[in-house]
Amino acid sequence: MGLVLLFGFYALLQFTQPWWLWAALAWLAVSLVLGQLLPVLILPLFFKVTRLQDDALQQRLAHLAEGTGLTLEGVYRLDLSAETAQRRTRRWPGWGERGACCSATPC
């Protein structure tokens, strides 16, 4: 995928003016598509996704989403913590147990 994006960028440089505007629009389009595909298609390939069992928390999150105008189709739990502690030192060599987490898992 990276190679396709690289060739697309070089095609923009060669054939379009102003290239930076078209590159920014292409970057926005790729970001939007990946933002839609990540939670539905990509994350379930690597992590276990289950429906949230805590009804009280599910209702609180639904109430919070109502204030933003978002519609929830469900609240799911992404099981990241099982492998986080084991992989942390391999992801950030030299950091030991002080690696940063990008999710709500205990570090």
Do both 36 and 62 map to the same domain? Answer: no
Do both 36 and 51 map to the same domain? Answer: no
Residue-level pLDDT at 46:
84
Number of structural domains the chain divides into: 2
103's CB contacts (< 8 A; 6+ apart) are 78, 80, 84
Show the DSSP H helices in the chain as ranges: 2-15, 19-37, 43-46, 55-66, 81-91
8 A C-beta contact, residue 99 and residue 92 = yes
Identify whether 58 is part of a domain: yes
Do both 29 and 52 map to the same domain? Answer: no
42's CB contacts (< 8 A; 6+ apart) are 34
Identify whether 2 is part of a domain: yes
Do both 23 and 59 map to the same domain? Answer: no
pLDDT in tens, the chain (107 residues): 789 878 887 887 888 888 888 888 888 998 999 888 888 888 888 888 888 888 999 889 888 888 888 777 888 888 776 655 555 444 444 444 443 334 444 44
Do both 32 and 61 map to the same domain? Answer: no
Helices 2-15/19-37 angle, 10° precision = 160
Residue-level pLDDT at 85:
55
Identify whether 3 is part of a domain: yes
Do both 31 and 2 map to the same domain? Answer: yes
Q: Enter the DSSP assignment of 77.
A: E
Do both 57 and 35 map to the same domain? Answer: no
Identify whether 103 is part of a domain: no
- Find the domain containing 4 and state its range: 1-41
Residue-level pLDDT at 29:
93
pTM: 0.51
Identify whether 101 is part of a domain: no
